[in-house]
Amino acid sequence: MSLIASNLCLKADTEYHLNDVCFEMSKGEIYTIIGRTLAGKTTLLKTIAGLIAPDSGTLNLDGSDFGRIPVWKREVAMVYQQFINYPHLSVYENVAFPLKQRGILKTEIHNRVMKSLLQVGLEGFEERKIQALSGGQQQRVALARSLVKEANIVLLDEPLVNLDYKLREQLREEFRNIFTAKASEDAILIYSSTDPVEAMQLGGQILVMDEGRILQQGNAKAVYENPSSAKVSQITNDPAMNLFEGTVAEGKIILSPQIQFDLPRHCQELPPEKYNFGLRAAAITLDEGGFPFTIELSEISGSETFLHLKHEHVKVVGLLDSVQNFNMGETVMARFDTTHLYAFATDGTLKSSPYSGMK
Amino acid sequence: MNFKHKYLFLLPGLLVLLGILIFPIGFTVRLSLSSWDSFYPALDFIGLDNYVRLFTDDKRFWEAFGRLSLLSLTTVFLQYVIGFSLALMVWKEIVFQRFFRVLFLIPMMTTPVIMTVIWRTFFHESLGPVNDLLSYFDVTPLWLSSELLAKFTVILVEVWQWTPFMFLLLLAGLLSLPKEPFLAASIDGAGPIRTFVYVTFPLMAPISIGAIIIRLIEASKIMDTVYVLTSGGPGTATETSSFYIFIKGLREFQFGYSAALSFTYLIIMIISLTIIAKILVKLMVRGN
Amino acid sequence: MKRTYISLLAVSVALMGGTAQADKWSDQFPHIKNTGDIAGECSYEAMSQKDYSGQKLTINTHAVPVMGEPTALHAEQFSALTGAEVNVIHTPAGDLYSKAMVPFQAGQAPYDIVFGFSNFIRDWKQYLEPVPAKYVNMAQMKDVTQSHIDVNTWDGEMIQFPIDGDRHYLKYRKDVIDNPEYQAKYKAETGNELRIPQTWKEYGEMAAFFNDWDWDNDGELEYGSAEVMKKDDLMFAAFFSRSVAYSKNPRVKGGFFFDLETMEPLINGPGFVEALGDWVEATKYVPPGGINFGLGDEINSFGGGQTLFSFSWDDAFVAAMQDDSPIKNKVGVAPLPGSNRVWNRDSDAWDDTYNQAPYIVWGWTAAVAKKSENHEMAFDYLCFFANDANHQADIAIGRFGVNPFKKSDFVADLYVERQGWDPEIAKQYADTLMEMEEGSTNRVFPLRVPGVFQFNSAIATGTAKALAGQLSPQEALDEVAAEWTKIVDRIGADTIREAYAKGVALEDAE
Amino acid sequence: MGLLYTCLKYLVVSLWSIFVIAPFLWAISTSFKDFQSVTNGATYIPWVDFEPTLEGWRALWKSPAKGGVDIVEPFFNSIFVTCAGSLISILLGTLAAYALSRFTFKAGFIRNSDITFFFISQRIMPPVVLAIPFFIMLGKFALLDTLLGLIVVYIVLLMPIAVWIMVDFFNKVPREIDETALIDGCNPYQAFYKVVLPNSIPGIIVAGMFCLIFGWTDFFFSFILTFTEVQLLPVAIVALNSSITPWWSLSAAALVSVAPLIAVAFVVERYLSKGNLSGALK
């Protein structure tokens, strides 16, 4: 039971929306497509749904050519980032719509609709008009509608991105349970997101997308620990992983005349050369024993503080676990926790990772 | 989205329109190459003679074009300014709001050719009410028979008739504007004029452009008003392109020549409207 | 001439007889209650013998009421008498030509009968059915004046059916011109006699004198003259009426509008320029907005007592003489003014003699389409329209626009008895018109050539520019002449000459 | 927003209202006059300035044979042709607009925007340009002087308006709604009439309103393409424009011709106030 995509390509003018996309997804799993905006996530979801026909390549579900089936006959469901419902119908009618379309018996429709509404926490809202609902509630309706179909493939295109922060956190929690339950019913659940935290929380499989390509594919832990390239490391971390150029020479890593440190253990075997080194923000802390940096900007977010630091050409972002105030232009000492250092070749491929050592 | 079904949506309308129009347009082009007139009603072939005559020996056509530009640009400009002002005034709280809104829409709902007959009696220089009232001040302007005033009267009637169109489009636009920018502006302490210049107007630019273009298209056809009000007179003071084509075609029955006029007119209009649209977009969206 | 008067007498005796008793037809059709049915080939009685039931007659006529109302009225009567279904469509005057011409040229035959103007004859001829001999020879037709036979005839063949009489003549306020007090005042201030104007110059002087003051003491301002000056609205006819005296020289043959030999336009000759100069002068003594007056405005203006003079068709006079008019029996009739000199293009100089000439003006006619399916029914309708009973009733109603064109019409007593006219005015009216119809030897026929609309349109455009002050009279008419030359070239000099020669032959014959 | 602005606002609004109403008041007054009260200079108030008569109004029901206009039949002809033309135009125009808004068309250098422009550009042509060819064409199909013939012409007149408004409207309706419908098992036609259409009512109302206005106010086509069987209201009323114009019956007829669309004005205003239309017109 699997959905297999091979060599999907879609080009508009000179730009690739999908560039040789291949994957294999199996039922009972949650897949998260992570990528920046315009990376091709929505295009890929719509291609799976059948709303967009690829220029070349095939989609195959359980051995049959899925690409040949028109949208309305594919067993898929989709939730958009905009709150898309049928504005002329009530909540109940919205959720019942796909079932009516299939000509299912009224009583069964009723049961299934009520079940879905209960699942998303909208019982009692059946007769409401869509316009009378809040954004979060509207998105619950959309989710209920996608669940009620009991489709084989459920596509969720950044469903939480347009909600405000608090609601997003709350719904993310709720939805994860629903999704897990749904996936366990032998469906393929594909979720797209720009937010690495969200992706990691959902667990399951991750596909990293950029400029229409799939850069890396694997379970959440593997992608987190071993981003296959510098680009992946940027996409899958928030804030993006710090990247800085340095040279390996004489057992040391030299970033600038002043910033030099010893090669950590997992990097011992790196041949002397230029590299792009990566370090997550959390691995940069303030410490008197570190190197001098100028503070360019400090941002407080929740209980954390982001520090944008600069030393000559080296620019990094550090993450402090507490709320602190700094003056801009102030000089602080920052320490790099090199045990969490990644090394990428200048073409971006991963050379060494703290979790699995040399590649 | 791309389905084969898309043709079933587009084609009925497109084919019906093409089907109805292909003959008239083809016929006009063919007619313009003939000398068909009241005496020889036949599709002979005289090459481009009609076009040569039009470009070398018909000052009146080009003068009519100039007049058309003047009249249509002036009326549309006035309609826009007045329509926008009125829309702004009944947009927010005002007594009898609904009454004014309905009232301001009404002129558009009347048939120009009929209302213009009423206007003609209204401005009748010796029997109409305007000059009767003005005679208390010892002036009796020649609304329809002096060159300048006749143009003014035509403009006035056109403004009366079609300002509601602008008013409607612009009021609908105003009513659908988002609230946030106005909140922001009032928090910044912007006065009504600044709010208008920096918030309302830029937000209204796209709909303004649409409304102006459509009105220009419609105003360039100005015909019924002139036909009833002045017959293009006095002299040729209010003779516009379409009225001139009408005279050549349906009054003098020079079908061949009037077809050449029509075709040339169409080409010029399509080109100039496209240019005007581009200019408007440049001018009005510059701020954003 | 003698013969005419005798037959006229006979008819009027018959008419008097008719008035005396109402008959069954006037009971059914109150329109003819004054005369009852009058015996004739197309009388009510005669029509009631015909059976056109199940047949359809379609007529394009003018807007209501002028000519449109009588057309519809007689259609209704005709339908009641013969059982035919008659449909009438009403079209504004300016569009009558095209409304019929478009289907003609497209090979369609939507109308059996088209109403129009006498000068359409050349353009329409090829689509019209000539009047059959049966109608041409009937007594009703013999009563029509020669001018109106000529106007409706092309090349010896009657194409249009006479239904209306048309001429331009002078209308004036008798109560002013004949008023001794004003005569003295006028003499004192200008040194000239106040009398019926004999020349256009006199007309202009008097109109200017009586302009813009309340000379009838009704509290409203009065003005000098009401005339058609609105572009395209028959203004060419007004211009020609003002031009004939200066340009139609009885000693010069071979064309008024064109030199028949070369087909060069004469329209910018000194005679026409002089007339246009007078007309531009006239803009100073017309009512406010007078420069934009159409025929309707002229009728309302003079008929409503607003002006001293007016000079186009009968309508303004009839309106002034209607029962509800404030100036009934205060108006007079005279031939168009003349001039003290007339241009002689043979000698290229002015002849300093008094000259006067009627312009056999453009007027209403009707005709039957060749493609009509029932010619007889169509001609019967027209014949019925113009039968004596209908005609007598129609000419008494101002808004109908039907005017005298039969010899039997020009009898003063008719108007005194039926319409309560002052006998002196009635006599003046009947005599003046009769003289114009039958007596004049120096006439001008309207331009009846192919493309006549282009010529008239050019005249309207040019003269309108002069009236509006855009061009001087000479410049304006030079422009018209240049335009005319182009039209001649386009249509072909020979084609136009052939048609124009017919009109010139009539003019030169006398 | 000072007092000054408020005063100015009410002043402008009042002045414009007077300007809008003036010709109607004049027409109402004139419709009760007769020849005398028209030709003796301007008069205004019945019983004070002139003795009112109902002649003008009676003329509307009288046949031309009695000097009337008989606008009853033309009135209903006008309503029928305008409504039928509008309906067909909206039907075809909405479908085409949907296609132009949702799908991509390519043929040589022609793109969606070119097709849209082709539709709208039909409005550029003055009626005089098309009248003669239409006459000849309708003549060939024996459609002259028929309601059907006029409807055919009105489609050309009105469909561009419908397309213009509906393309704009659909561009603002999120296409995800129709996509969702497809995903939920509708084929494109079902998606159109089950989901898109019910949500396009405001747009259709606006398009319908404009079609009604432009159809109702047309004069030249019906003037040239009809003879006796089918007469539309403007043509019937202009037929009063004789050399002696009966101002009174003309005014009465004009007032009657205005009435039906004033009802439309009320409908439009109602929808405007409810905010239903704003989205459609933006």
* Residue to test with chain B: of C286, C300, C454, C463, most B Cβ within 10 A: C454
Instruction: Identify the CATH number of the domain in which residue A201 sits.
Output: 3.40.50.300
Asked, for residue A233, whether it belongs to a domain, the answer is: no
Amino acid present at D266:
F
Q: What is the pLDDT of residue C200?
A: 95
Q: Residue A58 forms beta bridges with which residues?
A: A6
Residues D258 and B109 sit within 8 Å (Cβ to Cβ): yes
Q: What is the pLDDT of residues B104-151, one digit of tens each?
A: 988 988 888 888 889 988 888 777 888 888 878 877 777 887 778 889
Assess whether A209 and A332 both reside in one domain.
no
C-alpha to C-alpha distance for A11 and C258, rounded to whole angstroms: 75
Rounded mean pLDDT, A189-201: 86
Assess whether A79 and A215 both reside in one domain.
yes
Q: What is the pLDDT of residues C423-461, one digit of tens each?
A: 999 999 999 888 887 777 788 888 888 878 778 888 988
Q: How far apart are the first and last CA of chain B?
A: 31
Assess whether A134 and A175 both reside in one domain.
yes
C-alpha to C-alpha distance for C300 and C302, rounded to whole angstroms: 6
Burial code (b: 16+ CB inside 10 Å, e: under 16) for A61-78 equals: beeeebbeeebbebbbbb
- Note whether B37 contacts C300, CB cutoff 8 Å: no
Q: Which of residues 194-213 of D touch C (CB under 8 A)?
A: none
Beta strands in C227-293 (DSSP E): 258-259, 264-265
Q: How many CB atoms lie within 10 A of CB A26?
A: 13
Q: What is the pLDDT of residues A152-176, one digit of tens each?
A: 888 998 888 888 888 888 888 888 8
Q: What is the pLDDT of residue A266?
A: 85
Residue ranges making up the domain that contains A293:
242-358
Flag whether residue B144 sits within 8 Å of chain C, measured between CB atoms: yes
Stated length of chain C: 510
* Residue to test with chain D: of B22, B96, B110, B193, most D Cβ within 10 A: B110
For residue D174, the chain A residue with the least C-alpha distance is A84
C-alpha to C-alpha distance for C460 and C454, rounded to whole angstroms: 10
Asked, for residue A55, whether it belongs to a domain, the answer is: yes
| Distance to chain B for C182, nearest Cα, Å | 25
* Superfamily per CATH, domain B59-285: MetI-like (1.10.3720.10)
For residue B129, the chain D residue with the least C-alpha distance is D42
Q: How many CB atoms lie within 10 A of CB B138?
A: 6
Q: What is the dihedral of CA D37, D41, D44, D46, to 10 degrees?
A: -20
Flag whether residue C87 sits within 8 Å of chain D, measured between CB atoms: yes
CA C496 to chain centre: 24
Burial class (CB in 10 A: 0-12, 13-18, 19+), C509: exposed
Residue corresponding to tokens 């709320």:
A323
Q: What is the pLDDT of residues C366-387, one digit of tens each?
A: 999 998 888 999 999 999 999 9
Closest C-alpha to C355, from C336, C339, C337, C334: C339
Residues 6+ apart with CB under 8 A from D141: D149
Q: What is the pLDDT of residue A69?
A: 85
**How confident is residue B229, by pLDDT bands cut at 50, 70 and 90?**
confident
Burial class (CB in 10 A: 0-12, 13-18, 19+), D254: buried
DSSP letters for B245-282:
HHIIIIIT--HHHHHHHHHHHHHHHHHHHHHHHHHHHH
Q: Last residue of some domain: A164, A192, A227?
A: A227
Q: What is the pLDDT of residue C473?
A: 95
- Domain D70-281: which CATH number of 1.10.3720.10, 1.10.357.10, 3.40.50.2020, 3.30.1280.10: 1.10.3720.10
Rg (chain B; Cα; Å): 23
pTM of this prediction?
Answer: 0.81
| Distance to chain A for B2, nearest Cα, Å | 7
Flag whether residue D244 sits within 8 Å of chain C, measured between CB atoms: yes
Secondary structure string (H, E, C) spanning A9-70: EEEECCEEEEEEEEEEEECCEEEEEECCCCCCHHHHHHHHHCCCCCCEEEEEECCEEHHHCC
Stronger pLDDT, C65 or A296, i.e. the higher one: A296
Q: How many CB atoms lie within 10 A of CB A317?
A: 19
- Note whether D224 contacts C102, CB cutoff 8 Å: yes
Assess whether A58 and A180 both reside in one domain.
yes
Assess whether A164 and A195 both reside in one domain.
yes
Domains of chain D: which residue ranges? 3-65, 70-281
Alpha-carbon distances of C403 from C62, C140, C332, C399, rounded to whole Å: 15, 16, 17, 11
Alpha-carbon distances of A58 from A9, A191, B94, rounded to whole Å: 9, 21, 63
Q: What is the pLDDT of residue C268?
A: 93
Stronger pLDDT, A281 or A302, i.e. the higher one: A281
Q: What is the domain count for chain A?
A: 2
C-alpha to C-alpha distance for D80 and C119, rounded to whole angstroms: 39
Residue corresponding to tokens 């084929």:
D187
Residues D47 and D22 sit within 8 Å (Cβ to Cβ): no
**CA dihedral over D159, B274, D168, B170, signed as positive or negative:** negative
Q: Which of D223, D228, D246 is closest, CB to CB, to C58?
A: D228
Global ipTM: 0.78
Q: What is the pLDDT of residue B163?
A: 94
Domains of chain B: which residue ranges? 59-285
Beta strands in C143-190 (DSSP E): 153-154, 157-158, 170-173
Alpha-carbon distances of C225 from B175, C271, C299, rounded to whole Å: 57, 22, 11
Domains of chain C: which residue ranges? 2-162+363-421
Q: What is the pLDDT of residue C22?
A: 55
Assess whether A186 and A275 both reside in one domain.
no
C-alpha to C-alpha distance for D19 and C217, rounded to whole angstroms: 35
Q: Which of B3, B103, B207 is closest, CB to CB, to D282?
A: B207
Q: Which of residues 151-180 of B touch C (CB under 8 A)?
A: none
Instruction: Identify the CATH number of the domain in which residue A253 sits.
Output: 2.40.50.140
Residues A3 and A66 sit within 8 Å (Cβ to Cβ): yes
Assess whether A201 and A70 both reside in one domain.
yes
For residue A101, the chain D residue with the least C-alpha distance is D185
The pair of three-digit structure tokens given for residue C460, joined into one six-digit string? 């309207």
Asked, for residue A237, whether it belongs to a domain, the answer is: no
Closest C-alpha to C91, from B118, D61, D224: D224
Q: What is the pLDDT of residues B145-195, one digit of tens each?
A: 777 888 999 999 999 999 999 998 888 888 878 888 888 888 887 777 888
Stronger pLDDT, A11 or A317, i.e. the higher one: A317
Q: How many CB atoms lie within 10 A of CB C180?
A: 8
Assess whether A217 and A249 both reside in one domain.
no
SS3 A7: strand
In eight-state DSSP terms, residue D194 is: I
The chains found to touch A (3+ Cβ pairs under 8 angstroms) are B, D
Q: What is the pLDDT of residue C5?
A: 45
DSSP letters for C108-145:
----SEEEEEGGGHHHHGGGEEPPPHHHHTSHHHHTB-
Q: Which of B214, B242, B273 is closest, CB to CB, to D126?
A: B242
- Note whether D245 contacts C296, CB cutoff 8 Å: yes
DSSP letters for C423-465:
HHHHHHHHHHHHIIIII-SS-BPPP-STTHHHHHHHHHHHHHH
- Note whether C75 contacts D65, CB cutoff 8 Å: yes
Q: What is the mean pLDDT of each run of 10 residues along chain C (510 residues)?
A: 42 44 76 84 90 91 86 92 90 83 84 88 88 91 87 87 88 94 93 93 94 88 90 80 92 90 93 95 89 83 91 86 86 93 92 88 85 91 92 84 87 85 91 81 83 83 87 94 89 88 81
Q: What is the mean pLDDT of each run of 10 residues along chain D (282 residues)?
A: 80 92 91 78 78 83 74 89 94 92 84 85 84 86 89 91 88 85 88 88 86 88 83 83 77 88 82 59 44
Asked, for residue A172, whether it belongs to a domain, the answer is: yes
Class level of CATH domain C2-162+363-421 = alpha beta
